[in-house]
Amino acid sequence: MPITEILQKNADFYPEDISLVEINPKNENNRRLTWQEYSLIEANPNDAYRKEITWGEFNKKANRFANLLLSRGIKKGDKVAILLMNCIEWLPIYFGVLKTGALAVPLNYRYASDEIKYCLELADADVIIFGPEFTGRVEQIVGRVPRIKMWLYLGEDCPTFAESYDSLVSYCSSKSPQIKLTDEDDAAIYFSSGTTGFPKAIIHKHRSLVHSAMTEQNHHSQTKEDVFLCIPPLYHTGAKMHWFGSFLVGGKAVILKGINPEWILRAVSEEKCSIVWLLVPWAQDILDAIERGDIKLQDYDLSQWRLMHIGAQPVPPSLIKRWKQYFPTHSYDTNYGLSESIGPGCVHLGVENEHKVGAIGKAGFGWETKIVDENGNTVARGEVGELAVRGPGVMTAYYKDEKATNEVLRDGWLFTGDMASEDEDGFIFLVDRKKDVIISGGENLYPVQIEDFLRKHEKISDVAVIGLPDARLGEIATAIIQAKEGLTLTEAEIEEFCLELPRYKRPRKIIFAEVPRNPTGKIEKPKLRRIYCGDSVVAQQNEIK
Delimit the domains of the chain by residue range. 54-205, 437-544
- Rg for the chain, CA atoms, rounded: 23
pLDDT score at 207: 96
Residues paired with residue 483 on neighbouring β-strands, in sequence order: 460
Q: What does DSSP assign to residue 391?
A: S
The rounded distance, in Å, linking the Cα atoms of 213 and 242 is 7
Instruction: Name the pTM for this structure.
Output: 0.82
Torsion of CA 154, 158, 159, 163, to 10 degrees: 70
Task: Identify which of 226, 267, 270 has the alpha carbon closest to the alpha carbon of residue 244.
Answer: 226
Q: What does DSSP assign to residue 390?
A: E
Asked if residues 420 and 431 have their Cβ atoms less than 8 Å apart, the reply is: yes
Asked if residues 204 and 188 have their Cβ atoms less than 8 Å apart, the reply is: yes
CATH of 54-205, one of 3.30.70.890, 3.40.630.30, 3.40.50.12780, 3.30.56.10: 3.40.50.12780
Q: What does DSSP assign to residue 328?
A: T
Q: What does DSSP assign to residue 352?
A: G
CATH of 437-544, one of 3.30.300.30, 1.20.1260.10, 3.40.50.2300, 3.40.1350.10: 3.30.300.30
Helix (H) or strand (E) holding 61: helix 55-71
pLDDT score at 42: 52
Parts of the chain with a pLDDT under 50: 35, 41, 195-196, 535-545
pLDDT tens digit sequence for 242-292: 999 999 999 999 999 988 999 999 999 999 999 999 887 788 889 999 999
The rounded distance, in Å, linking the Cα atoms of 198 and 466 is 19
pLDDT score at 31: 64
Spatial CB neighbours of 55, under 8 Å, sequence gap ≥ 6? 7, 10, 11, 13, 14, 15, 16, 17, 18, 19, 250
Spatial CB neighbours of 90, under 8 Å, sequence gap ≥ 6? 82, 84, 234, 255
pLDDT score at 196: 43
Residue 338 one-letter amino acid: L
Asked if residues 523 and 280 have their Cβ atoms less than 8 Å apart, the reply is: no
Q: What does DSSP assign to residue 357?
A: B
For residue 496, with 0-12 CB atoms within 10 Å meaning exposed, 13-18 middle and 19 or more buried, which class applies?
exposed
